[in-house]
Amino acid sequence: MEPQVVDNAEESRFEIRTEAGLAGFAEYQLRDGGSTVAFVHTVIDPAFEGQGLGGKLARAALDTVRERGAAVLPHCPFIRGWIAKHPEYTDLVPAEKRSRFDL
């Protein structure tokens, strides 16, 4: 089974799951009536590190936010660093906020 990313809205987090179970998550807060998603914390279980799951989680979460037409505030260092390495996602962060996140 390929890792699957789902939005667990009840827990306010995107989760990545494998055959072995929950591998990690990216917590978020909805702001501005849901038009902004503030990522606040990302965790990959140490048992799953080194498998590229953090990147898959970040890409899927940001793609979902893009599909919903929302903006991103990358307070989480992992999400912020991932966006910095993948500039095609910088447009998700409002232009007036990018300098705050060093983007």
- HEC secondary structure over 51-97: CCHHHHHHHHHHHHHHHCCCEEEECCHHHHHHHHHCHHHHHHCCHHH
Name the pTM for this structure: 0.96
Q: How many residues does the chain have?
A: 103
**Cα separations (Å) of 42 from 1, 19, 45?**
22, 20, 10
Q: Is the pLDDT of residue 1 over 90?
A: no
Region 13-37: what's the mean pLDDT?
97
Residue range 97-103: mean pLDDT, rounded: 96
pLDDT digits (tens, 9 = 90+) for 36-95: 999 999 999 999 999 999 999 999 999 999 999 999 999 999 999 999 999 999 999 999
Residue 62 — φ and ψ, nearest 5°? -70, -35
Domain spans in the chain, listed from the N-terminal domain onward? 4-101
CATH architecture type of domain 4-101: 3-Layer(aba) Sandwich (3.40)
